[in-house]
Amino acid sequence: MSQIFHPSTNAFAKATIFGGVFILGILVWALLTMERSSYFTQAKVVKDQPVPFSHKHHVAQLGLDCRYCHTSVEESNFAGIPSTKTCMACHSQIHTNAEILEPVRASWRSGESLQWTRVHDLPDFVYFDHSIHVKKGIGCESCHGPVGEMALTWREHSLNMEWCLECHDNPEQFVRPREFVFTMDWKPTGDSETMRNELAKLYEVESLTNCSVCHR
């Protein structure tokens, strides 16, 4: 009777024992890494927009306040997308013939809204309110990143739940004085930890991690 297996199968069998563990480990690691990559989360990925609007130009170079366009951020859960009228307040005077602004003028003529692509689109099962975050002294840039550097807008963070909880577990570390909420590239002066703790007390900042705070 001939041998069923070639002697080399011994080595192969041993390799599978170690290989199995490593391959499994690498597979789990790869899956967890992939889940957090910008390919999956779309963080730091620029979205196509009808008009190549530059936050860098308007915020950093011209010094517009966030609230000039995002008017409802202090009162509402939704920060608000500016109407064409807001754009035309300036652009009826400057760059009136710029080709890239043609969609804005077209919208102005027809009365039909511009169809912006949403950059921060939370799933429907999550409730989020801008106004409470602003009132508790959380700066725009804490979540939206250095908007003043974005020639085209991208989403700075993954919006994964673990990212939300990073702050919700210890919100004191991100608190700033209310007057600096809309400031870009803000750095605390002096003893920042005491200041933050005092502010957290003053604004009654709480660590809210109950499921139904956001999943209502």
Partner 1 sequence: MADSKSKKSKFEKAPIIEPGHTYGSITDKISSIVLTKKIRKSWLIGFSFSFMLLMVFLGSTGYLLMKGTGIWGLNVPVSWGFAIINFVWWIGIGHAGTLISAILLLLRQDWRTSINRFAEAMTLFAVAAAGMFPLLHMGRPWLFYWLMPYPNTMALWPQFRSPLVWDVFAVSTYALVSLLFWYVGLVPDFATLRDRAKNRTAQIIYGTLAMGWRGSAVHWHRYETAYLLLAGLATPLVISVHTVVSFDFAMGITPGWHATIFPPYFVAGAVYAGFAMVLTLSIPLRKVYGLEDFITMRHLKNMAKVMLATGLIVAYGYMIEAFTAWYSGAEYEEYMILNRMTGPYKHLYWALILCNVIAPQFIWISKVQNSVIGLFIVAMFVNVGMWLERFVIVVTSLHRDFLPSSWDMYSGTIWDWATYIGTMGLFLTLLFVFIRLVPAISIFEMRTLVTDSEKES
Please tell me whether residue 28 binds partner 1 under the rule CB under 8 A.
yes
Nearer to partner 1, 5 or 22 (CB): 5
CB under 8 A: which stretch of 6-14, 80-88, 170-178, 184-192 binds partner 1?
Answer: 6-14
The encoded tokens of residue 65 equal 């306040």
Q: Which of 128, 122, 104, 109 is nearest to 159 (CA)?
A: 122
CB of 43 to partner 1, least distance (A): 12
4, 97, 111, 115: residue in contact with partner 1 (rule CB under 8 A): 4
Distance CA 146, CA 140 (A): 9
Q: Which of 51, 54, 83, 49 is nearest to 68 (CA)?
A: 83
Q: Is 197 helix (H, G, I), strand (E, B) or coil?
A: helix
Give the number of other CB atoms < 10 A from CB of residue 73: 20
CB under 8 A: which stretch of 7-15, 76-84, 85-93, 137-145 binds partner 1?
Answer: 7-15
Distance CA 12, CA 18 (A): 10
CB within 8 Å of 196: residues ≥ 6 apart: 172, 173, 175, 176, 188
Nearer to partner 1, 22 or 125 (CB): 125
8, 11, 22, 32: residue in contact with partner 1 (rule CB under 8 A): 32
Q: Restricting to residues 141-180, which ones interact with partner 1 according to CB under 8 A?
A: 158, 160-162, 165-166
> What residue ranges bind partner 1 (CB under 8 A)?
4-5, 9-10, 13, 28, 32, 35-36, 158, 160-162, 165-166
